[in-house]
Amino acid sequence: MITRITTRCFRMFTVLLFPSMLYAQSAVLEDYVKEGIKSNLTLRQENLELEKSMETLTQVRALYMPRVYLNATYTLAYGGRRLQFPVGDLLNPVYATLNQMTGTDKFPSVQNVDIQLAPNNFQETTIAFQQSIFNSDIYFSYKIQKDLVSAQLARRNVYENELRYTIVGAYYQYLQTLEASKVLTQSKTILQELLKLNQKLVANNTATKDVVFSSEYEISKIEQQLAFAEKNEQTARSYFNFLLNRDLASSILVDSAAYTSAAQTSLTDLEQTALSNRQEIQQINHSIKANENNIRLNRNNRLLPNVFVGGSVGYQGYGYTFDSSQQYAIAQFGLQWNIFKGGEKRSKEQQSRIQANLLSSKFTELQQQIRLQVTQAYYDLQASRKSLTAAEEGLNKALQSFRIIDSRYRNNQALLVEFLRAENDVTTARLSVSIARYDLQAKQAQLNKVIALQ
């Protein structure tokens, strides 16, 4: 019986010790990444922010086009101030004298002027337009908004890169919890078979009952560990599904080949790759360009005028007749120049120059931060590789020790406590290999994230 236990244990440990170490990008994991990028709520918000910025760009572009308005008003008025002028009282005596002298009636009587200032029954229907010919504000505002859209796109890509490798890391974490449960379950199976053997030994009076109690105690400890492992598995599943905006209890496909050992690359090459790929660099570059255009906007607004043309055609008069007596047309040529505003524009230009210095400092700091992140991720990965190698060697040693102690136990040359300790060492070593293996994947994902590998 013990021989079968040992053989089965050795076979299971050997299979776990020599898994396939290389594989192409996991299709299952890549599909999950695509699903997460498509459905993640935070990324959706970033996409909406980008769309909003693009609509603002469309609004600024529209300022290049002519503005056309249709204005129609009709006015009714009663009372109010009046314009009164006794023109009749002044001219009628003169006209009467002239008519007498000429013997004609060529000079008719004139009524006094009594006009209500508020127009009554008055309409004005006009189509007006205005077209900018030269306006530096519109030109540079468009360029600024274009740079801001590019910066927003870079920001969105930053989050997508972060999300991609957060999903990858969460997937490996879930696989690690499954592996831990599997290791503990297999250990429990071995201990249960050992318990049956010890019960038979006691029944045959070849061992005392303490061996049964010890076996049952070891099983209870494994069951406690299994309870925590199952809890960790559920938590890892919920977090992974949360990233994909799915039901937290949704099942997750397990890719048995989801394990890779990437080719090693020099730290210098990784740093250069990160500086080329990281969207944070692009984001701050576009912010610098937007600020440079803002400097030009404030400077040109202070030094150059705005020029435009415009005009209107329509009808105005008392009552709606729309005839030639009410028709009119106006053409305009305009120039606006901010000659003096208390130094406001000069101050805004200086403020933008200060912002340029601030962005330049942030750019240098960002480059240093990226180099530091790459360095840390690189050496973490190296340490994780060494840790996995040591864990695998440790498992080999534990298996060899277990076989020796098993042989001694079968020949009544070893105590049960030695057998249990050896079995516990093997279980611990298996868990260490599992942890080290998936920790290596997490470290590889972290390095891929900091170099923005797609």
Is the pLDDT score of 20 beyond 60?
no
pLDDT at position 336? 85
C-alpha–C-alpha distance, residues 443 and 168, integer Å:
11
Structure-token pair, residue 79? 């009372």
Residues 223 and 188 sit within 8 Å (Cβ to Cβ): yes
pLDDT at position 12? 39
Matching residue, tokens 């005596």 = 93
Matching residue, tokens 């415009």 = 310
Is the pLDDT score of 128 beyond 90?
yes
How buried is 431 (Cβ within 10 angstroms: 0-12 exposed, 13-18 middle, 19+ buried)?
Answer: buried
pLDDT at position 258? 61
C-alpha–C-alpha distance, residues 451 and 454, integer Å:
9
Structure-token pair, residue 259? 């394990």
Is the pLDDT score of 45 beyond 70?
yes
Confidence of residue 83 (pLDDT cuts 50, 70, 90): confident
Which range (175-179, 292-296, 301-305) has the least confidence? 301-305
Q: Which residues contact 317 (CB under 8 A, 6 or more apart)?
A: 122, 123, 325, 326
Confidence of residue 368 (pLDDT cuts 50, 70, 90): very high
Confidence of residue 260 (pLDDT cuts 50, 70, 90): low
> For the sheet containing 327-336, what is the strand order?
67-75, 122-134, 306-318, 327-336
Which range (211-215, 228-232, 294-298) has the least confidence? 211-215
35-58 average pLDDT score = 90
Residues β-bridged to residue 327: 315
C-alpha–C-alpha distance, residues 240 and 174, integer Å:
8
Matching residue, tokens 């050795």 = 10
399-422 average pLDDT score = 81
pLDDT at position 224? 92
pLDDT at position 10? 38
C-alpha–C-alpha distance, residues 231 and 224, integer Å:
11
C-alpha–C-alpha distance, residues 444 and 286, integer Å:
30
Mean pLDDT, all residues of the chain = 85
CA distances from 343 to 296, 298, 335, 338, 340 (A): 16, 11, 21, 11, 7
How buried is 144 (Cβ within 10 angstroms: 0-12 exposed, 13-18 middle, 19+ buried)?
Answer: buried
pLDDT at position 369? 94
Is the pLDDT score of 310 beyond 70?
yes
Is the pLDDT score of 8 beyond 60?
no
Q: What does the pLDDT look like over 92-113, one tens digit per residue?
A: 888 888 888 888 888 888 888 8
C-alpha–C-alpha distance, residues 316 and 328, integer Å:
8
CA distances from 320 to 73, 127, 150 (A): 11, 16, 53
C-alpha–C-alpha distance, residues 374 and 448, integer Å:
9
Cβ contacts of 4-11, under 8 Å, gap ≥ 24: 4/193, 5/190, 5/193, 5/194, 5/197, 5/406, 6/402, 6/403, 6/406, 8/190, 9/190, 9/402, 9/423, 9/426, 10/399, 10/402, 10/403
C-alpha–C-alpha distance, residues 129 and 310, integer Å:
5
pLDDT at position 257? 62
Residue 261 three-state SS: coil
Structure-token pair, residue 206? 């070849």
